[in-house]
Structure 1
Amino acid sequence: MSLRVEEDLCCPVCQDVYRDPVVLFCSHSFCRLCLKSWWEGKKKLECPLCKEESTTSDPPCNLALKMLCDRFLLTRKKEVTKPEVICRPHGERFKLFCVDDEKLLCLVCQHSDGHYGHKLQPVNEVAQGRRNELRKALRPLLDKLKVFKEEKGNLDQTAEYIKLQAQQTEGRIKEQFRKLHLFLHKEEDARIAALRTEESKKTQKVSLKIDALSREIAALSRTIKD
C-alpha cells in the first residue's frame, strides 16, 4: 500500500497503525490503549484532537476501521520487509529502543514484562545519536583516507612522470644510435672506398712492373733463341 494510505490508518496519538480502534462521538478514532493512556489522570474525558468531551469512558469499537487495519497489517506481514524494521511477533514497526537490553521494540513490546522499568528511547533519537557517533568515529578515518588518496595521486603523477621521462630518454637514445649507425655506415663506405682506391693504385703499379718485366723476358728469350 502507499504511504498515504498507511498514514490514513495511523492513530493520531501513537502515530502507528490502529490497534483495536475505537470511535468517539465526534467521529475521531484512536487505539483503545492509546485513548485510555491519554485519559489516565484527567478529570474530563476529552477527545485528544478536537477536545470535545466524551459521554462514555468505554467508546465502541470502530469495526470498519479495525477490519481495514487488520487487512493492512496482514498484507504488510506478507511483504518482504527488513527484520530490523518490523517486529516479527507483532508485525509492528520498531518505534522504541531499550537502552538496558540494546534492543529495538515496537509499541506493543514496551508493555511486556521483559522490559518493565527499562529505559526506553524513540528509535529516531537513538538512530541520530548513533549516526553522530559513527560520523565522529569515521571522521579520522575519512581524513586518513583523504591523505592516502592524495598520496596515491602524487605517486600516480610520479609514476606517470617516470614513464614519460623513460619514453623521452628512450627516444633520445634511439636517435643517438640512429645517428651513430648512420655515421658508422658512412665511415664504413668511406674506408672501403679508400681501400679500393689504394688497391687499384697498387695493382696498377704492379701491373706496370709486370708488363716491363714481361717485355724484358720476351727480348731476352729472342736473344737466346737467336
Structure 2
Amino acid sequence: MAFAMDEDITDRPSLLESDLSCPVCRDLFRDPVLLSCGHSFCEDCLECSWKHKNTKLCPVCRKNCDGETPIPNRALKNTTESFQKEKGWRITGAPQVICGLHHRDLQLYCIHDEEPICVECVSLHSGHDIKPIDHGVQYCQELLELKVKILADKLESFKKLKKRCNETVNYIRSQSEEAEKQIRQEFERLHQILKEEEASRIVALKKEEEQKTKMLKEKIESISRDITTLTELVQSLRREMTAEDLVVLQV
C-alpha cells in the first residue's frame, strides 16, 4: 500500500509543473497569452474555448473579456521552455490529437466548421452536419482534391495566358522589325530620288549658267565693238576740230 502511495505521489505533477500548465488542456503552456484578469492560457486553447461563443469569458474566473486582445506572456513561455529543457523533454509544436477543451479523443468531424471535434463538442455545433472522423477525412480529401483541381485548372489557364502573351510579344517584335525594314527601304528610295533630283537640278543650273554667260559675253563683245567704233569717231572729230576753220565749215 505504501508503495502504491509512493508511486501515486511520484506520478503527480510537481507544483512548478502545475503552475506551468494551461488550465484548459492541463498540459504545459504552448505560446501562453495573458488576460486582464491575470489568468494565462495556451493561445490555441483560449481561441478554441472562445470559438462560437457570443461572449468571450475567462475560462477560469468567467470575467467578460469582450474587446480584449490577449497579451503574449513571454516570461511564462520562457519559464516553461526552461522547465522542459531541465526535465529533458522535447519542445514540440505538433498539433493536439485530443480536444483542447474537453480532453477527449477527436472522433467526429464538423462539416460546417471543417474541424475535428469530440463527442462533448457536439452541443457546441448544434444544427451542424456531424460525421465520423473517417468520413471527415474522406470529406477533407475530396475537398482538397477539388481545390487542387481548381488550382490546377487555374495554373493551366495561367500557363496558356502566359504562352499567348509571349506569342503576342514575339508577333509585336516581328511586326516592328518588318516595319523598321520597310521604313529604312522607303527612306533609302527617297534618298536616291532626292540625289537624282539634286544632280538633275545642278545640271540644269549649270546649263542655264553657261547659256546666260554666253549671251552676256556676246553682248559684252558687241558693246566692246560699239565702244571701239565710237572711240574712233570721237577721236576723228577731235582731230577735225583742230583743223582750219574752212575745213570745219565743210564738215
CA positional deviation for 1:104 = 4.1
State the percentage of identical aligned residues. 12
Q: Which amino acid aligns with 1:180?
A: I
Give 1:1-226 correspondences, 5 Å limit: 62-64=11-13, 67=18, 70=22, 73-78=28-33, 87-89=47-49, 93=96, 97-99=109-111, 102-105=112-115, 107=117, 110-112=119-121, 113-115=123-125, 118-121=130-133, 125-222=138-235, 226=240
Q: Which amino acid aligns with 1:88?
A: C
Which runs of no fewer than 5 residues in structure 2 stay unpaired? 1-6, 35-41, 52-94, 100-105, 241-251
Normalising by structure 2, report the TM-score: 0.49
Alpha-carbon RMSD:
4.2
- Give CA-to-partner distance per residue, 1:78-121, whole Å, 9 cap, x none: 49x997x995318975866302xx114455x5423234893143
- Give CA-to-partner distance per residue, 1:179-211, whole Å, 9 cap, x none: 333333333332322222222211111111111
**Aligned-partner SS, 2:213:** helix
Number of corresponding residues: 165
CA gap 1:72/1:159 in 2 versus in 1, 3 angstroms = farther
Normalising by structure 1, report the TM-score: 0.54
Which runs of no fewer than 5 residues in structure 1 stay unpaired? 1-26, 28-58
**Aligned-partner SS, 1:119:** strand
Larger radius of gyration: 2
CA positional deviation for 1:152 = 1.9
Q: Tell me, in whole angstroms, the C-alpha distance in 2 between the residues paired with 1:73 and 1:179.
A: 92
8 Å Cα contact 1:97-1:104 kept in structure 2: yes
Q: Tell me, in whole angstroms, the C-alpha distance in 2 between the residues paired with 1:215 and 1:172.
A: 64
